[in-house]
Amino acid sequence: MKKFAFTLFVVSCFLLPIKAELYNYVENTSLLDITMVYVEGGTFEMGTNRDKYREIDEENVHTVTLDGFYIGKTEITVAQFAAFVEDTGYITDAEQKGRSFIWNDEKAIMEEKENVNWRCKEEGNLISAEDYSYYPVVYVSWQDAVKFCEWLSLKTGKEYSLPTEAEWEYAARGGNKSRGLMYSGHQKVKKVAWYWDNSKRNEHPVAYLMPNELGLYDMSGNVYEWCYDWYEDKYPTESQVNPKGPKNEKNKLFRRVIRGGSWATVKHFCRVANRDSGNPNLGTSTSGFRIVCRFKE
C-alpha cells in the first residue's frame, strides 16, 4: 500500500504544471545572431553612497525589485545594425542631419563634424560592415536605437526594447549572482573595460575582455549604452518595482540615460553605479546600445 501511494505521488508530480527553466537564446532573425542572456528577477540596492568616486545623482540608494528579463550578451554591432538598415532603408539621425559628434583628443571635448555617421570612422572614411562586424555600432541616437528595437519586435513577435536604467544596472552588477564589484565583472577596470588608459582612443570589438557574473561583456567601458529612461539628476528615495524612470512631463533636462562609460572616459565613469545622460536625437563616437527582451514568468 505504501509503495502504491508513493507511485501515485510521483505520477501526480509529473501531471502538475512546472515552471519552465529559462535559458539563454540566440535571436537569428535576418541572420543577426544576437545572443540574449537570461537575467533572473530579484531585488537589489540601486545607486551607491560608498564609492569614493560617487556623484550626487547616484547617492539616493533605494531598493528596486525587477521581474526577469533577457539582455544582449554584447552591444549591438555594426553588422547587426546594418541588417536592420538594409531591411528597412532606415536613415539615422546623424545621416539626416549630415553630421555627428566626435571625440577631439587634443581639446578633450566632443565636437561636431560633418558627414560622420554609423557607416564611418571618425575621419569620415566609410567602413565595411563586414570588416567591423564585431565592433559596437556608434553614432546612433536614442531614437535610432528605439527604431532598431521596434523593427526587431515586428520581425520576431517578441517584446524588444532598450533596457530601463534599473534593468541595466541590475544586469551590470551581475543580477542575483552579483559579487558586489565596482566594475561590471571585476574590481580592476582594465580586466573588463576599454577606457581612457587602454583604449588608444577607439572602440574595440565586443566580447574581447572578461565578462561579468552573468556572462555579459563590455557593460563597463567600450561605448556608452542608451537606456529607455528619461534622465533626472536625483533618484527617488522610496522602494520601486519595475521602474521605468520619470515621466516626460516631469523631466526638466529632456535627456535620456546613458550608462557604462566608454573608451574616451576615465575609469570612474565605468563603475556600475555611475550615471550619465545624452540628447536623444544625437549620436556620438562614444555611444551605442544593447537590447532587452521581456516576458511573463
pLDDT per residue of the chain (297 residues) written in tens, 0 to 9 = 434 343 333 333 333 333 335 789 999 887 789 999 999 999 999 999 988 889 999 999 999 999 999 999 999 999 999 999 999 999 999 999 999 999 888 888 889 999 999 998 777 788 888 888 999 999 999 999 999 999 999 999 999 999 999 999 999 999 999 999 999 999 999 999 999 999 999 999 999 999 999 999 999 999 999 999 999 999 999 999 999 998 865 666 689 999 999 999 999 999 999 999 999 999 999 999 999 999 754
What pLDDT score does 252 carry? Answer: 62
Contacts of 90 (CB under 8 A, 6+ apart): 84, 144, 147, 151
Nearest to 217 by CA among 177, 180, 172, 182: 172
The pLDDT value given to residue 132 = 86
pLDDT in tens, 136-155: 999 999 999 999 999 999 99
Looking at residue 1, what is its pLDDT?
Answer: 42
Per-residue pLDDT, 249 = 58
* Threshold 0.85, pTM exceeds: yes
In this prediction, residue 11 carries a pLDDT of 34
Cell representation of residue 144: 535610432
> Which residues touch 294 (CB under 8 Å, ≥6 apart)?
67, 69, 70, 159, 161
pLDDT digits (tens, 9 = 90+) for 269-295: 999 999 999 999 999 999 999 999 997
| pLDDT recorded at residue 108 | 80
| Closest among 36, 47, 21 to 239, alpha carbons compared | 47
As given in the structure block, the three cell numbers for residue 120 are 564611418
Go through the domains of the chain in sequence order and give each one's CATH number.
19-294 (3.90.1580.10)
Judge contact between 211 and 168, C-beta under 8 A.
no
